[in-house]
Amino acid sequence: MEYRIEHDSMGEVKVPADRYWGAQTQRSYENFKIGIEKIPLEVIRAFAVLKKAAAMANHHLGKLDDTRSKLIAQVCDEILEGTLDGHFPLAVWQTGSGTQSNMNVNEVIANRGNEIAGETLLHPNDHSNMSQSSNDTFPTAMHIAAAMEIEDRLLPAIDLLIGTFDRLMAENEGIIKTGRTHLQDATPIAFSQEISGWKNMLEKSRQMIILSLPGLKELALGGTAVGTGLNAPKGFDVEVAKAVSALTGRDFTTAKNKFHSLTSKDQMVFAHGALKGLAADMMKIANDVRWLSSGPRCGLGEISIPENEPGSSIMPGKVNPTQCESVTMVAVQVMANDVAVGMAASQGNFELNVFMPVCIYNFLQSVRLLSDSLVSFNDHCATGIKANREKMEENLHRSLMLVTCLNPYIGYENAAKTAKKAYREDISLKEACVELGFLTAKRFDAVFKPEEMV
């Protein structure tokens, strides 16, 4: 491999000749060979947005000349297009402020920009990082990445599954089945009502996620090192937030209190709590679906789901609810990520949180996994859910909890005696009720209407 010599304040460093990063990136790359987890590309894209916005703001405020501003913007566009992805190699497990990733972006912008210009015009600290600090850029990149991934990936995925449940509700209107509580038979429910519960879970989770977005759209940029805004021109924070909004087409604002935005990650915790709520709902929905589809002969068997792949290497013909299992594993991971995000946020000592890379890594993984699993579950499972009407009707009329509709006519205790006799002697509720003398057969038929219990 060929190398070139780069230098920083600590001296000279050998850097691969075909990479645009510089000395500080190389030092981090060599010093933190930990795990396989890299700073997510979503964060790198967010950095490109904020670096371009910073150049625009600095130019507007008379700090940066037109040539350098345009050069920085050009390289940032290349980063956003993905053509420079191979130049961001750093591990999540680096400095807790994300300083080395900020410098990675600064160095790539400077070296690539100088290559484009054919002369040395950009310095990673003096120009790429002008009016900024790693301490305000990394939390800004976190918020931009989190907000954009939620809006661009997660919300559309939620809407997709909501639409499928809407269709299933309409298709299954009028089908009555037995309800279940505590995994035991309960009073009847319409299948469309059961599906409506699933749908409303997603709608409520969506609302809670949206409630968290304003906090994520507050930017720390302009606070520089400790929140005082040292070395940033007056009005930079407002201008750069305007520029980020213009570049992304979203309403980002500058944080009113930069001391809070540098040291606290409570807005990330709040937003991830909503993600955990969605994960909990998806766990419940997936479990319902696999219980209802269990069988095909020895389970509930009230619905069928698509058969996507063989389910066993030893049992021929076996098909498993694999999409449900995938969803529930994702839910477990998101719940575990919530612990990491919360613990990372608790480490805001004095003027800076120093657990930011692990915080955003887990946050974005949750968004990514939820988005992908919602689409996969929708496309490969939910869209193919079919009601087994015969099995639902059979289970409904075998349920002893239908006796509940007799309460107004024979009282709770007599209804309980009827159910226990029917179960003990393996006879129908009607036979038990008549034999006990609580109702005549004619009166029983007049008041016993399961389809009216929903």
Q: Which residues are catalytic?
A: 182, 312
Which run of H or E residues covers position 7? strand 3-8
Q: Where are the alpha helices (DSSP H) in 32-82?
A: 41-60, 66-81
Q: Are 277 and 358 in contact (CB under 8 A)?
A: no
Q: Are 50 and 137 in contact (CB under 8 A)?
A: yes
- Residue carrying the six token digits 């510089």: 22
Give the single-character DSSP code of 255.
Answer: -
Give the angle 69-97-146 at the CA atoms, nearest 5°.
Answer: 70
Mutual angle of helices 41-60 and 134-149, in 10-degree steps: 120
Q: Are 139 and 344 in contact (CB under 8 A)?
A: no
Tokens standing for 96?
């807790």
Nearest to 337 by CA among 286, 283, 273: 273
Q: Are 34 and 95 in contact (CB under 8 A)?
A: no
- Strands 303-304 and 348-349, sheet pairing: unpaired
218 - beta bridge partners?
A: 253
- Strands 218-219 and 253-254, sheet pairing: parallel
Strands (E), 89-232: 176-181, 184-190, 218-219
Nearest to 417 by CA among 403, 402, 427: 403
Instruction: Count CB neighbours of 12 within 10 A.
Output: 10
- DSSP for 146-177? HHHHIIIIIHHHHHHHHHHHHHHHHHTTT-EE
Give CA torsion, residues 133, 135, 136, 140, to 10 deg.
120
Burial of 335 (C-beta count, 10 Å sphere; 0-12/13-18/19+): middle
Give the single-character DSSP code of 352.
Answer: E
Q: Are 309 and 318 in contact (CB under 8 A)?
A: no
Whether the bond between 296 and the residue before it is cis, its omega within 30 degrees of 0, is: yes
Q: Residues in the chain, how many?
A: 454
